[in-house]
Each structure stands twice: as structure tokens, then as C-alpha cells.
Homo-oligomer: A and B are copies of this chain.
């Protein structure tokens, strides 16, 4: 759980990154930016900030904000309710993102997993995304990503998000955000 102060500060910081990326959001969206610390209370290293544009039965679109070196930890989207699981495309809009999927491991990966959690990072095939570059993750594929030293803003285009179904390699993680009152 993160404190109210951390939450408010992270929202303000995320708005600043979106502005740098030239992305306009409504006042309502700005007030509802999701701050996902994933239950670890290590937001500087593990977590992300999200603006969810839409999430219907068939389509979801979001902006993801990652602070410098902030990491979205390793997870996959399994089949749910007779559907094949979430398919998602990440398109870098600003900054730089290091994305990891199954395949030949990078000899010298650009990202470093958050300290003390190294053993929960198991896929090491590296894709570097600069602004305008994108990559599609098919359902049930393990993946994780980390922003470069400047942070990053990433558009996500996908099928319906069912965050509660995500399976994280790190068993300490809880997807549902909790903020102290």
C-alpha cells in the first residue's frame, strides 16, 4: 500500500510526463490516473502509472507512464472465460523502454530488475523501443519492461484488460491498487 502523499505525488509526476509527450488528457482523466504499486510499496522501482481511455468487452486503450528505471514486473495474461487471454501492443511515445519476452537472452541487457527481486525475472529476450516503435505481445506470453533513464510514455492497444487475472512471476505482487486513507 502506498501513502496518500506518494499517490498524489505520483499522479502529478505522471501528468508531467504525459505533457512532455504532448498527450492531452481531460481533467477527469487527470484526476483518475491509476498509480499501481502492485502491493510492494517500492513505487520508484516497481510499478507504473496508467490512464485508461477505454476498456470495453472487446477493446482497451491506455497510456502507461513509467518513471526513470521504473519496472512493470514479469507477468502474463492467461485465457479467461473461454477467450484466449489479453493481446497487447506497446507503442513508445516518449522516452525509451526496454521490453523482455521469451527467446534468446540479451548478453548485456539494458534493464536491471529491481533489487532483491532478481529471481522473479525469467525472460530476457530484449526489445528496445524508441518513440514511434512498437511490439505486440500475444496472449499468455511472459513479459516485463523497464523505462530508460528519462522515463517513458507508452500507448497500449489491446483486447479487454482483466487485471485481476494477470499472473505475476513474483508471488508478492497484488495487481489491485491500494492507497492509504
Contacts and interface: CB of A to CB of B under 8 A. Distances in A.
Interface stretch (A38-46, A87-95, A168-176): A87-95
Given A59-B89, A87-B58, A53 B159 contact: no
Contacts of A89: 53-54, 59, 61
Interface stretch (A3-11, A100-108, A128-136, A140-148): A128-136
Interface stretch (A22-30, A68-76, A110-118, A119-127): A22-30
Contacts of A158: 59
A78 to B, nearest CB: 16
A167 interface: no
Contacts of A131: 24
A132 B26 contact: yes
Given A59-B159, A61-B89, A158-B59, A54 B134 contact: yes
A134 B21 CA distance: 19
Nearest to A29: B132
A61 B132 contact: no
A157 B89 CA distance: 12
